[in-house]
């Protein structure tokens, strides 16, 4: 397929490269010309604007930092869309923004899906992302050949905006696990127990998780190179809190995790990986 990819950051760049590797004709646009050049070096094409990327494409994918960026780009996408264009917004944004995008698209004959992802930079590189999709069932089926190059778990979770609600649930769980793994490391070290051995045991039992599988050793070594930045997780926790308010439910643990993430950002760790919640727990105990 002819695909326009808008947003070539930590996640978007390897995702676009995987689409190229799968045989799709991918034209990329990003505010960073260097990122566009990287896609061209991998076999894609570059564009100097959203309009240029979208014109003539059968599929458009946006992978942007937050709702304001999506709100800025979406009108350009639908204005320059070919008839029947499939528009996949894979950003993590507010559910109401996804519903707004779906309405904007439908008015111009564009098929829109919200399709946020989980799996971090590693999942984006390996093409093993988990993708939660909101929108019409027939449009989800039409998108599967594209999504299959990006992820291994692709689930239609409901109408427009539902994908973002599921992503909010994902982020509150991931944040909570990071916080608890951080507390486990602090407890083990303060007790004189080897944290490597301790977390290896935990990873093989009921406490096992993808977080432990992928991040326990780098957390113990205090290596926090960003696969997913604290700044972005702070934004996502805000989405989760807002979604809970809209649904009229109380999520007390989510509120506590949101405060820990906010503390990490306030302490200057916003550019670090979200596993840097360990630094907050350590500071509480210093």
Distance from C-alpha of 32 to C-alpha of 30, rounded to nearest angstrom: 5
Q: Could you tell me the CA-to-CA distances from 181 to 170, 203, 261 in Å, in that order?
A: 17, 11, 14
Using an 8 Å Cβ cutoff, are 273 and 226 in contact? yes
Considering the candidates 167, 215, 235, 279, report the single residue annotated as catalytic: 167
Hey, what long-range contacts does 30-34 have (CB within 8 A, 24 or more apart)? Answer: 30/6, 32/8
Q: Is 235 a catalytic residue?
A: no
Distance from C-alpha of 17 to C-alpha of 40, rounded to nearest angstrom: 9
Residue 114: what are its φ and ψ, rounded to 5°?
-95, 125
Distance from C-alpha of 78 to C-alpha of 95, rounded to nearest angstrom: 19
Cross-strand pairs, 45? 27
Distance from C-alpha of 198 to C-alpha of 253, rounded to nearest angstrom: 25
Residue among 271, 278, 272, 279 at smallest CA distance from 181: 278
CB atoms under 10 Å from CB of 180, counted, come to 16
Residue among 71, 88, 93 at smallest CA distance from 243: 93
Distance from C-alpha of 109 to C-alpha of 101, rounded to nearest angstrom: 12
Could you give the angle at which helices 195-203 and 210-220 cross, rounded to 10 degrees?
170
Q: Which residues carry out catalysis?
A: 167
């Amino acid at each position: 397929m002819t695909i326009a990819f808008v947003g070539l950051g930590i996640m978007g760049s390897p995702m676009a490269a995987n689409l190229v590797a799968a045989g799709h004709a991918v034209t990329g646009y990003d505010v960073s010309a260097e990122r566009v050049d990287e896609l061209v070096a991998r076999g894609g094409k570059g564009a100097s604007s959203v309009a240029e990327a979208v014109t003539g494409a059968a599929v458009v994918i946006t992978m942007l930092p937050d709702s304001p960026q999506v709100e800025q780009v979406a009108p350009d996408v639908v204005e320059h869309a070919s008839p029947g264009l499939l528009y996949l917004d894979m950003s993590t944004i507010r559910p109401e923004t996804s519903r707004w995008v779906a309405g904007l698209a439908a008015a111009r004959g564009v098929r829109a899906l919200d399709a946020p992802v989980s799996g971090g930079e590693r999942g984006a590189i390996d093409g093993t992302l988990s993708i939660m999709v909101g929108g019409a069932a027939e449009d989800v089926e039409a998108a599967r050949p594209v999504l299959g190059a990006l992820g291994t778990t692709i689930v239609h979770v409901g109408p427009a905006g539902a994908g973002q609600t599921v992503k909010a649930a994902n982020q509150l769980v991931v944040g909570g696990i990071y916080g608890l793994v951080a507390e486990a490391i602090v407890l083990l070290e303060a007790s004189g127990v080897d944290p490597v051995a301790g977390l290896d045991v935990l990873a093989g039992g009921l406490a096992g998780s993808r977080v432990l599988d992928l991040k326990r050793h780098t957390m113990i070594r205090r290596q926090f190179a960003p696969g997913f930045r604290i700044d972005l997780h702070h934004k996502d926790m805000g989405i989760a809190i807002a979604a809970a308010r809209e649904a009229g439910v109380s999520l007390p643990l989510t509120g506590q995790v949101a405060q820990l993430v906010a503390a990490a950002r306030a302490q200057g760790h916003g550019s670090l990986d979200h596993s840097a919640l360990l630094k907050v727990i350590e500071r509480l105990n210093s």
